[in-house]
Structure 1
Amino acid sequence: MKKLRFPGPRQLWADCCERVRHLRLRGSLEAYADGELTGARRAQLAAHVARCWVCSGSLQTLRLVKASLRTSPRRHPQSLGAVRILRYAEQMAAVHHPQGAHRTGRRPRRRRSDEATS
């Protein structure tokens, strides 16, 4: 049976440093996607994205989302007051005119074909 090798303290320290660097750089990913980084920070993040598949995938997704938002039509959400008024009107209509009830308040007229069979 082959003996399992565990990483030594130097390897653990290097892995820990890489993980911390990854987390720090990942926070700058959105600024990198927007082109807001310059100089050494931009080069550092570009090198990290080139070797880290998690960050490169996140960057690609972020770029796709931003591109789709730029090309989508602008929609303005309804105001809260308009939403409340519409909801109130629907509730009032449901109370005053339950499903199946007629709006005139009279019974429906019978059709001639119904009168002949009754």
Structure 2
Amino acid sequence: MKRQRVPGPGRVWAECREQIRHVRLRGDVEAYADGQLTGAHRMRVAAHIACCWACSGSLQLLRLIKVSLRHHPQRTPPSLASARVRRFAHHLTTPPGQVRPRR
């Protein structure tokens, strides 16, 4: 049986510190994608994105989502009021003996 090596406290702390850094940077990556960062802060986030595969992947995903939203027509979801009116109209038009489908 092979003995598993347990990481030392320094390694565990480094991984934990990096995870905390990513939690703090999550909003910064989104602001970077939107072009809201300026100056030195923008440069720090750009440097981190250049060397971090997780944050660069998040940035690419955000950019793809933005492009997708830009190229599709604006669609608004139906309002709750219109759904209720349609349901009530269906209720009024269904004959009394017929089973009404539940919506």
Structure 1 residues 3, 83: CA separation in 2 closer, same or farther (over 3 Å shift)? closer
Greater relative contact order: 1 or 2 (C-alpha under 8 angstroms, separation 6 or more)?
Answer: 2
* TM-score, reference length from structure 1: 0.66
Superimposed CA distance per residue, residues 87-109 of structure 1 (whole angstroms, 9 cap, x where no aligned partner): 1111222234738xxxxxxxxxx
Amino acid across the alignment from 2:24: R
Q: Which runs of 5+ in 2 are unaligned?
A: none
For 1:94 and 1:52, how far apart are their aligned partners in 2? 60
How far did residue 25 of structure 1 move?
1.2
CA RMSD of aligned residues (A): 2.6
| 1:45 paired residue number | 45
How far the C-alpha of 1:16 sits from its partner, in A, is 3.0
Looking at structure 2, the residues matched to 55 and 17 of structure 1 have their Cα atoms a distance apart, in angstroms, of 15
Aligned to 1:29: 29
Q: 1:93 to 1:10 in 2, by over 3 A?
A: same
Determine helix, strand or coil for the equivalent of 2:21: helix
Kindly state the Cα deviation for residue 3 of structure 1 after the two structures are TM-superposed: 6.9
Task: Specify the alignment match of 1:106 in structure 2.
Answer: none
1:64 maps to what in 2? Answer: 64
Aligned to 1:19: 19
Q: Which residue of 2 aligns with 1:76?
A: 76
**Superposition deviation, residue 11 in structure 1:** 3.5
Distance 2:67 2:87 in 1: 35
* TM-score (norm: length of structure 2): 0.74
